[in-house]
Amino acid sequence: LYQAKLTEAVQAGHEILITGGRSRDAVIAAINVMEDSPLFNAGLGAVFNHAGDIELDASIMEGRLLNAGAVAGVGRIKNPINLANAVLEHSPHVMLIGAGAEEFAASQGLEFVSNDYFKTERRRHQLEKIQREEGGVALSEAAFDSKPDPYAFDEKKLGTVGAVAIDQWGDIAAGTSTGGMTNKRFGRVGDAPIIGAGTYADNQACGISATGHGEYFIRAAVAHDICARVAYKGISLQQAADEVVLDKLVKMQAEGGIIGIDPQANTVFSFNSLGMYRAAIDKTGKLTVLMFGTD
* d(C-alpha 123, C-alpha 55), whole Å: 13
* d(C-alpha 178, C-alpha 237), whole Å: 24
Residue 211 known to bind ligand: yes
The residue from 7, 19, 120, 160 that is catalytic is 160
Whether residue 87 contacts residue 197, with contact meaning beta carbons closer than 8 Å, is answered with no
CA angle (241, 16, 166) in 5-degree steps: 30
Residue 74's contacts (CB-CB under 8 Å, 6 or more residues apart) are 55, 56, 57, 80, 83, 97, 98, 101, 102, 105
Residue 188 known to bind ligand: yes
Residue 281's contacts (CB-CB under 8 Å, 6 or more residues apart) are 10, 11, 13, 14, 287, 288
The sign of the dihedral angle between the CA atoms of 193, 182, 79, 173 is positive
Residue 190 known to bind ligand: yes
User: 274 exposed, middle or buried (CB, 10 Å; 0-12, 13-18, 19+)?
Assistant: middle
Residue 275 known to bind ligand: no
Residue 191 known to bind ligand: yes
How long a stretch of residues is the chain?
A: 295
Residue 212 known to bind ligand: yes
Residue 189 known to bind ligand: yes
160 in active site: yes
Whether residue 80 contacts residue 102, with contact meaning beta carbons closer than 8 Å, is answered with no
Cα 82 to Cα 52, 106, 285: the distances in Å are: 24, 12, 26
Cα 156 to Cα 34, 39, 145, 186, 251: the distances in Å are: 17, 12, 10, 19, 23
Whether residue 26 contacts residue 17, with contact meaning beta carbons closer than 8 Å, is answered with yes
Which residues carry a binding-site annotation for substrate? Answer: 188-191, 211-214
Annotated active-site positions, please? 160
